[in-house]
Structures are given as C-alpha cells and as structure tokens.
Amino acid sequence: MVKKKCVAMLLAGGQGSRLHSLTTKIAKPAVPFGGKYRIIDFTLSNCTNSGINTVGVLTQYQPLVLNSYIGIGSAWDLDRRNGGVTVLPPYTEASGVKWYSGTANAIYQNLNYIEQYDPEYVLVLSGDHIYKMDYSEMLDYHIQNEAEATISVIEVPWDEASRFGIMNTNEDLEILEFDEKPAEPKNNLASMGIYIFNWKSLQKYLDQDNLNEESSHDFGKDIIPLFLNEGKRLMAYPFEGYWKDVGTVKSLWEANMDLLEENPGLNLFEHSWRIYSRNPNQPPQYLAASSEVTDSLINEGCVIEGKVSRSVIFQGVSIGAGASVHESVVMPDAVIGKNVTITKAIVPGDITVPDGVTITPEDGNEEIILVTKELVEKLRKDVTA
C-alpha cells in the first residue's frame, strides 16, 4: 500500500434513537436531509473537498441501507485505486464476534485498516452532523501547533453549554480539561466530535484503553483524558460556521428549515464546496397550473399540484390538488393526497397520506409531528368515519 499522510475514520454506526421511526430500519447517518441528501453526505463530501481520499466508514447499527448507499464511493469521487472508501463493519475473530463497544473501540478494532496506509495523522469524524468544513485547514493547524491531538470546537450559547462536551482551554486554545456535560460550565467551547491524532500516539492510547476493563471506550470520556494525564499537547481548533447535530426530530426539522433562509448558514448552491450524493436520476419536477410554491426546496421527480410553502420536498414526491404543505419536510417517494393539510411535520419516505387528511399540531404545541403509518391509518379512519 502507498503511504497516506492522513486517513479518516468516520463513525457511522449510531442508532439515533431520538429520531424514532426514522431510524428503525436505517442508521442515523443514512437519514434523508435537505431534499436530496443523507446526513453522511456532508461528512463524505467534506473529506473529498478537503483532499482526504482514504476514508474508513465504521458501521454497526442497521447497516444495509448505509452499505449499499456508500457502495464503492463513486458518488463522492472516493472510488480510488489507492485508498478510497472502505466500509468497516464489526467482524468475527477466532475468539468470537466483537461488536463495537464504543467510539474508541470501533477504531481500535480496525487498527489494521489504518496500519496498511502507515499514516502520520488520523482524522476521526462522526457521520451525524450537518456542516461544511475544510479538514485540511484543521490538519495544517494541528501540524503548526505541534499538537498530539486537535479537537474541533464551536462556541455554543452559555446557557446551553451543559448539554455538550466542553473543552476548557487556556488563552492559546491549548486544552487543559475535558468536561462532559458539565452542570456548571467553565467555558462555552463544545467539542464537535472531530479529532485529529498523531497516529503513533493514538495507537498507543487505544492499546492502553483496550486493556482497561473499567473504560467505556469513548473518545471524549476515555481517550482524551489519557492524553491529558500524560501532559500531551492538545489543541482546540475553533470552527466558525454552520454546524448542527440533527439528533432529534425537532433539530432535524430545524436544520431543514434553516436551508430555506434567504442567505442560509449552509449554502447548498456553493460551487466550490459541492455536497455530493447519489443522484436519483428522475425527470425534472413538474409544477401544475394549480400549484403554488414559495420559500421551498424541491427535488427532481416531484409532481406538485397543491400548495407548498416553507417546506423541503425530496425526490419523487407527489402532492395532490388542493393540498397544502407548510413548514414541513416530505421525504423520498411520499404521496400527499388531494386536499391534505400538513403543517410542521416530517413525512418519512414511502408514506401515503390519504385524501382529505389534516396533520397539524394543536395550538401551543411546539413539537414537530413525525408522521407514521399508524398515525396515517388512524387519520384515514377518522376521515372515512
């Protein structure tokens, strides 16, 4: 194998249980986002756009869709003769099956994958976030600062800091302490779950952590403290820009709505930093004479006969005449019948909402409705009753 300067390890095995029915059959990184994409597209595109072309994707929970979606990586230009994308599921050894028991353990079990490329640096990523970031700039920062590890951080509002893993740093952004969800935060720099390690040190501490039976084998909780205890130089890399964890139905909905701003924090139309994905190859969208579409993103293959406002509509969706879809996200191939009213909801793919049904939150309820087959069935009976 040809030596690589930096190998990326992308953690994509998370369940995302707070996304409920959206993740019963697929892992969180495979959840559709932004009218065309899946969450993992953002991290994979960042890799390609940053010139990092060796990416191991660690899968575990419900990997079928994710595995076939990634394929040989051609959608992200990651089908390379040397390197490229490699899906790394848990595997069996003579001693038995070894499930990934934590983020650090997942990497530990694939040390031999990294070894093949004998890299100087390892970039650890998570496939759960929506953002654009040039990892090559972070790597330059890591090298310039002669750090053993660099963690990307973002400023969060002080009153929310206790929900995050907080990095306590000195004025030069050298990390002194890692506080996981502190009750009384001393800082407001939250870890984005993006790490760059010097390969040799990472290898050493992963070996050490593996022998510790008390460890939860987590990067934030277990590996970073090992570096800190030995006085290694850890740097925080300050990131400015749009970054969102879409771990809940509400935050997934919000991140979709963010795209509809006049000047969105995350611009999908930027040519120099394209977000790549598998292209569905469907005909252009058709907007009928009866349609009324404003403030929305609509993908190919859709047939729109009703009213759509402040919504994100994925490929292959049809919206019937007299229907009104407002502040909602409609995922691939869903069918919205005639005279349906939908407000503040996420409609997962392949759901058919029958004619005349109304799905809208009760007054004062801030929750976003996640439409399910059960809900649709109940509403259908109400309409016909």
* Binding-site annotation: residue ranges for alpha-D-glucose 1-phosphate: 100, 165, 180-181, 191
- The smaller minimum CB distance to other proteins, of residues 158 and 286, is found at 286
Letters for 299-338 (x = contact with other proteins by CB under 8 A, - = none) are xx-----------xxx------------------------
Residue 153: phi and psi, rounded to 5, are -130, 155
User: In angstroms, rounded to a whole number, what is the distance separating the alpha carbons of residues 14 and 61?
Assistant: 6
For the segment 6-35, give every residue that binds other proteins (CB under 8 A): 34-35
Number of residues that bind other proteins (CB under 8 A): 33
For the segment 34-63, give every residue that binds other proteins (CB under 8 A): 34-36
Letters for 266-305 (x = contact with other proteins by CB under 8 A, - = none) are --xx----xxxx-x-xxxxxxxxx-xxxxxxxxxx-----
- Beta strands 37-38 and 312-313, pairing class: unpaired
- The smaller minimum CB distance to other proteins, of residues 120 and 295, is found at 295
- Which range binds other proteins by CB under 8 A, 63-71, 116-124, 131-139, 261-269? 261-269
- The smaller minimum CB distance to other proteins, of residues 42 and 205, is found at 42
Q: How far is the CB of 35 from other proteins (least distance, A)?
A: 4
- The smaller minimum CB distance to other proteins, of residues 91 and 269, is found at 269
- The smaller minimum CB distance to other proteins, of residues 231 and 284, is found at 284
Cβ contacts of 342-345, under 8 Å, gap ≥ 24: 342/371, 344/253, 344/368, 344/369, 345/369, 345/370, 345/371
Q: How far is the CB of 34 from other proteins (least distance, A)?
A: 7
For the segment 88-127, give every residue that binds other proteins (CB under 8 A): none
- Within 13 Å and on the Cβ side, how many CA atoms surround 95? 2
Q: Which residues are annotated as a binding site?
A: 100, 165, 180-181, 191
Q: How far is the CB of 187 from other proteins (least distance, A)?
A: 36
- The smaller minimum CB distance to other proteins, of residues 146 and 262, is found at 262
CA nearest 130: which of 220, 61, 193? 193
CA nearest 243: which of 338, 168, 152, 354? 152
Give the CA angle between residues 375, 379, 380 to the nearest 5°: 115
Which residues, 6+ apart, have CB-to-CB distance to 247 below 8 Å? 16, 18, 19, 28, 128
The β-bridge partners of 359 are: 342
Q: How far is the CB of 73 from other proteins (least distance, A)?
A: 14
For the segment 233-252, give every residue that binds other proteins (CB under 8 A): none
Q: How far is the CB of 56 from other proteins (least distance, A)?
A: 23
- The smaller minimum CB distance to other proteins, of residues 142 and 307, is found at 307
Q: Residue 352 has which token pair?
A: 């058919």
H-run or E-run covering 255: helix 249-258
Q: How far is the CB of 152 from other proteins (least distance, A)?
A: 25
Q: Are 12 and 31 in contact (CB under 8 A)?
A: no
User: In angstroms, rounded to a whole number, what is the distance separating the alpha carbons of residues 335 and 332?
Assistant: 9
Residue 23: phi and psi, rounded to 5, are -120, 25
Contact positions toward other proteins, by CB under 8 A? 34-36, 262, 268-269, 274-277, 279, 281-289, 291-300, 312-314
